C-alpha cells in the first residue's frame, strides 16, 4: 500500500475544511511515516502531553507508553469523547510500526485509515447535526422575521428592520439597501448601517449600471457573493467602488449582494451585506486585524439572506403600496376639505385649524395624570383617526342649501324691494287721497284754508311715518341683536294699514316677512337654523358611505357628534356624556375655540384667546363640555397649536357673505 493509498479516504478539501489532525506520542516521532504524511491531507503533530493534544485540536491520537504514563487511558477518553484513540497496545499486532524504518504494515495502515474514516464520519455527523440545529433555529427566526416585516407599514422602520435582521442572521458588520425607482432606470441609496464606524449618510440617486455591484444585481436579478472586494477579476463586468472605504477609513472584504423581488418578480430593492465576521460583537476598526476577523459568506448565510431578501421584497412592496394609499387618502381628504371651504371662503382654514388643535389636545391628554385620561389615552392610530374626523367634520356642509349658507340678512333684497314698492304705493295712495279732498273743496266752492292745511300736515306726517317704517325695516333686517324697542316698532309696522286699504287687507309686511324681521339674533329662522345644524347629520351619513379600514372606522361617529353636549342639549341626537365618543368631546372644545377666535366674520367679531377660554370654562360650569379636557387644553397650551401658522387658502371667485355651520354664536349667547 502506498502513501497515497493511506490518505485517499481523506480528500484535500475534507482535510482543509474539517481540520483533520493526527497527533502521536514521542515513541513514534522519528518514524518516516509522519514525515511523509505531514503537509498532505493529514496534519501530523508530535505531542508529549494531554494538554498539547487539546491545544492542537487533535482528530486522531496515537498513544505510546510515554503519553499513557503522563495521563491514564481513562483520562484521555474523558477528555476526547469524539476522538479516535489508538494505543501502543492496539498496534502491537504490527511491531513493524515501531521497529522498522520502512512504511508500517498493511494491517497498521488499514487501522489508521479506518480510524481516520471513523473520525471523519463522526465529524460529519456532528457537523450535520449542528447545521440542522442551526438551520432549524434560523428558519424559525426567519418565520418570526417574516411576520414582523409583514406587519410593518412604515417604510423607514421596515428598511432598518430588514438590514438589522440580516446582520444578525449572517453575523455581518454592515449592510446597505437600495430602492429601485419607479422608472426602473435609477436607484436610490436609501439606507446603510455599520456596527464599527459612525459616518454621515445622505440619500442619493444614481443610474442603474452593471459596472457597479448593486447595479449588476439589479439588472440581472442575480446575487453576487464576493469573498474579497479588492480581489475581483479585472475581466469582471462589475468592480468594487472603494471611495467609501477611502473616505471613512473602512475596509470592505466579503460582500453578499442580493435582489429583493416583488410579487411580479421585478427587482424592487437591492440588499447588500458586508464583512461577515467570526464573532458578531467584534468591531472592525483600526485596532482590529480585519482580514483575520472577516470570512466569506458561506452557503448557510447565503440561503438565509436569500430567504430574507424574498420576504423583504414583498414587505417593501406592501409598505410602499400602503404609503401610496396613505398619500392618496391624505390627498383626497385635503381636496375634500378645500372643496368644502371653497364653498365658504369666509371661514377658510377652519377644518385644518380644528384638526391641529385636536391632535395637540389628544397628545396632551396622553400626558395627563388624571385617571379618566389615562383610561382614554389615544395611541397614534387613534390620533390619526381623530385628525381625519376633524378635517372632515364639516363635510356635510354640501348638503345645506346655498340660499341658507349665503343668507346675509333676514330678508332678501327682493323682499326689501317688494316692501319698498308697497310703501311707495301707500305713499301714492295717501297723496291721491289728499288731492281728492282738496279737489272736492274746490268743486263745492267752499275752499277752507285751515282744512287744506290740516290735509297737507296729515299727509306729511303719514309720509314721514312710512319713511320711518322703511328705515326700521332696513335696520331690523341686519343680523344683529334685536332690541325691545325695535320689536315694538316692528309690531307697529305689522299692524299698520292705511284707512283706505283696510277692506283690501293691505299690509306693509306679510306675516312671513314679519317673522323673519323679528328674528332676535342673526339672520336665520328656526327652520333655517335647523338646516344649518343638519350639516352634522349629512357629515355622518356621507362619511358612513366611505369603506373605512378597521383603524379608522369610528371617523363617521366622531365627526357626527362634534355638536353634542354632555348635558344632552346638543344636536343632532341630544346624546348625553356617556354616549358621546371621547374623541368627539375633544373635537367639540377645539371647534368652539376656533369658531370664537377665528377672523372676523361679516356677522361677528373674533374674540381673544383669553375670552374664548373663559367662555369654554362657562360652558363647562353649565355642564355642556368636559371640564377636565378644558383644563388640559389650557394648562398644556394646546390651544396655541395654531398660533403663527397660515391656514387660509386664496380662492378666486365669489366672496359673498356666507354662514359658517360651526360658528358657536349661532347657538349660544355670550
HEC per residue, 193-238: EECCCCCCCCCEEEECCCCCHHHHHHHHCCCEEECCHHHCCCCCCC
Indicate whether 451 and 368 sit together in one domain: no
For the residues 473-497, what does the mean pLDDT come to?
Answer: 85
Half-sphere exposure at residue 93, Cβ-oriented, CA atoms within 13 angstroms: 11
Residue 419 is part of which domain span? Answer: 413-522
CB-count burial class (<10 Å; 0-12, 13-18, 19+) for 52: middle
8-state DSSP, 567: B
Which of the listed residues 470, 502, 522 is the one where a domain comes to its end? 522
Indicate whether 20 and 120 sit together in one domain: yes
CA angle 90, 95, 97 (to 5 degrees): 85
Say if residue 187's pLDDT is above 90.
Answer: yes
The cell numbers describing 124, all together, are 460529519
Between β-strands 267-277 and 204-207, what pairing exists: parallel, antiparallel or unpaired?
unpaired
If we measure between CA atoms, which residue out of 557, 558, 559, 577 comes closest to residue 567?
577
For the residues 545-572, what does the mean pLDDT come to?
Answer: 93
pTM: 0.65
Indicate whether 537 and 428 sit together in one domain: no
Structural domain contains residue 328? no
Contacts of 25 (CB under 8 A, 6+ apart): 46, 47, 48, 62, 63, 64, 65, 66, 67, 88
CB 572 within 8 A of CB 408: no
Indicate whether 391 and 439 sit together in one domain: no
Which of the listed residues 453, 487, 522 is the one where a domain comes to its end? 522
Structural domain contains residue 333? no
Structural domain contains residue 143? no
Any idea what the CATH number is for the domain that residue 228 is in? 3.30.450.40
Indicate whether 181 and 299 sit together in one domain: yes
Kind and range of the H or E run holding 633? helix 627-635
pLDDT at 385: 95
Taking the C-alpha atoms of residue 230 and residue 498, their distance in angstroms, rounded to an integer, is 111
Taking the C-alpha atoms of residue 434 and residue 437, their distance in angstroms, rounded to an integer, is 5
Indicate whether 476 and 353 sit together in one domain: no
Indicate whether 236 and 351 sit together in one domain: no
Domain count across the chain: 4
Is residue 65 very low, low, confident or very high in pLDDT (cuts 50, 70, 90)? confident
For 302-351, the pLDDT digits (tens) are 988 998 898 888 888 888 888 888 888 888 888 888 877 776 666 678 89
For the residues 509-531, what does the mean pLDDT come to?
Answer: 88
CB 46 within 8 A of CB 68: no
Structural domain contains residue 132? no
Taking the C-alpha atoms of residue 313 and residue 166, their distance in angstroms, rounded to an integer, is 13
For 369-413, the pLDDT digits (tens) are 888 888 888 999 999 999 999 999 988 888 888 888 778 888 988
Structural domain contains residue 335? no
For 228-255, the pLDDT digits (tens) are 999 999 999 999 999 999 988 899 999 9
CA distances from 191 to 17, 84, 160, 240, 256 (A): 36, 51, 8, 19, 16
Say if residue 471's pLDDT is above 70.
Answer: yes
Amino acid at each position: 500500500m502506498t502513501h497515497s493509498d493511506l490518505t485517499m479516504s481523506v480528500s484535500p478539501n475534507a482535510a482543509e475544511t474539517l481540520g483533520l489532525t493526527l497527533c502521536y506520542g514521542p515513541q513514534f516521532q522519528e518514524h518516516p511515516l509522519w514525515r511523509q504524511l505531514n503537509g498532505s491531507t493529514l496534519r501530523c503533530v508530535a505531542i508529549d502531553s494531554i494538554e498539547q493534544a487539546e491545544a492542537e485540536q487533535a482528530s486522531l491520537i496515537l498513544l505510546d507508553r510515554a503519553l499513557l504514563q503522563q495521563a491514564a487511558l481513562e483520562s484521555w477518553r474523558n477528555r476526547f469523547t469524539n476522538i479516535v484513540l489508538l494505543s501502543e497496545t492496539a498496534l502491537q499486532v504490527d511491531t513493524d510500526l515501531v521497529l522498522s524504518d520502512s512504511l508500517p504494515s498493511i494491517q497498521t495502515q488499514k487501522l489508521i485509515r479506518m480510524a481516520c474514516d471513523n473520525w471523519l464520519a463522526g465529524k460529519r455527523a456532528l457537523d450535520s447535526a449542528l447545521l440542522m440545529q442551526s438551520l432549524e433555529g434560523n428558519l424559525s427566526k426567519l418565520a418570526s422575521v417574516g411576520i414582523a416585516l409583514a406587519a410593518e407599514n412604515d417604510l423607514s422602520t421596515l428598511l432598518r428592520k430588514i438590514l438589522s435582521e440580516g446582520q444578525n442572521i449572517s453575523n455581518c458588520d454592515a449592510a446597505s439597501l437600495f430602492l429601485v425607482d419607479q422608472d426602473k432606470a435609477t436607484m436610490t441609496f436609501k439606507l446603510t448601517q455599520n456596527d464599527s464606524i459612525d459616518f454621515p449618510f445622505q440619500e442619493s440617486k444614481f443610474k442603474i449600471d452593471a459596472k457597479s455591484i448593486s447595479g449588476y444585481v439589479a439588472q440581472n436579478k442575480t446575487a453576487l457573493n464576493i469573498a474579497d472586494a479588492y480581489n475581483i477579476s479585472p475581466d469582471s463586468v462589475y468592480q468594487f467602488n472603494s471611495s467609501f472605504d477611502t473616505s471613512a477609513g473602512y475596509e470592505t472584504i466579503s460582500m453578499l449582494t442580493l435582489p429583493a423581488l416583488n410579487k411580479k418578480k421585478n427587482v424592487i430593492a437591492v440588499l447588500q451585506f458586508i464583512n461577515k465576521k467570526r464573532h458578531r460583537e467584534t468591531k472592525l476598526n483600526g485596532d482590529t486585524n480585519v482580514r483575520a476577523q472577516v470570512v466569506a459568506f458561506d452557503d448557510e448565510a447565503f440561503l438565509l439572506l436569500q430567504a430574507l431578501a424574498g420576504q423583504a421584497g414583498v414587505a417593501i412592496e406592501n409598505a410602499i403600496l400602503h404609503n401610496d394609499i396613505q398619500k392618496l387618502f391624505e390627498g383626497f381628504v385635503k381636496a375634500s376639505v378645500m372643496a368644502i371651504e371653497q364653498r365658504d371662503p369666509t371661514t377658510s382654514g377652519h377644518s385644518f385649524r380644528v384638526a391641529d388643535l385636536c391632535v395637540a389636545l389628544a397628545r396632551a391628554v396622553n400626558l395627563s395624570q388624571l385617571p379618566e385620561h389615562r383610561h382614554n389615552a389615544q395611541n397614534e392610530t387613534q390620533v390619526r383617526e381623530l385628525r381625519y374626523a376633524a378635517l372632515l367634520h364639516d363635510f356635510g356642509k354640501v348638503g345645506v342649501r346655498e340660499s341658507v349658507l349665503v343668507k346675509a340678512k333676514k330678508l332678501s333684497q327682493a323682499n326689501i324691494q317688494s316692501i319698498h314698492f308697497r310703501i311707495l304705493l301707500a305713499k301714492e295712495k295717501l297723496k291721491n287721497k289728499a288731492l281728492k279732498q282738496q279737489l272736492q273743496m274746490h268743486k263745492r266752492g267752499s275752499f277752507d284754508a285751515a282744512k287744506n292745511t290740516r290735509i297737507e300736515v296729515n299727509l306729511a306726517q303719514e309720509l314721514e311715518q312710512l319713511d320711518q317704517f322703511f328705515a326700521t325695516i332696513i335696520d331690523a333686517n341686519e343680523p344683529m341683536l334685536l332690541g325691545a324697542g325695535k320689536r315694538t316698532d316692528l309690531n307697529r309696522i305689522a299692524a299698520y294699514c292705511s284707512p283706505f286699504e283696510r277692506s283690501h287687507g293691505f299690509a306693509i309686511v306679510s306675516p312671513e316677512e314679519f317673522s323673519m324681521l323679528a328674528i332676535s339674533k342673526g339672520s336665520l329662522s328656526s327652520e333655517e337654523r335647523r338646516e344649518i345644524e343638519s350639516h352634522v347629520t349629512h357629515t355622518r351619513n356621507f362619511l358612513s358611505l366611505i369603506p373605512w379600514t378597521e383603524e379608522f372606522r369610528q371617523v363617521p361617529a366622531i365627526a357626527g357628534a362634534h355638536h353634542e353636549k354632555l348635558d344632552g342639549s346638543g344636536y343632532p341626537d341630544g346624546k348625553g356624556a356617556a354616549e358621546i365618543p371621547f374623541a368627539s368631546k375633544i373635537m367639540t372644545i377645539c371647534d368652539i375655540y376656533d369658531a370664537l377666535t377665528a377672523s372676523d366674520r361679516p356677522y361677528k367679531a373674533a374674540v381673544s384667546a383669553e375670552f374664548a377660554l373663559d367662555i369654554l370654562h362657562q360652558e363647562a360650569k353649565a355642564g355642556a363640555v368636559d371640564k377636565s379636557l378644558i383644563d388640559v387644553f389650557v394648562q398644556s397650551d394646546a390651544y396655541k397649536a395654531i398660533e403663527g401658522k397660515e391656514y387660509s387658502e386664496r380662492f378666486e371667485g365669489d366672496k359673498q357673505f356666507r354662514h359658517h355651520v360651526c360658528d358657536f354664536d349661532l347657538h349660544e349667547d355670550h
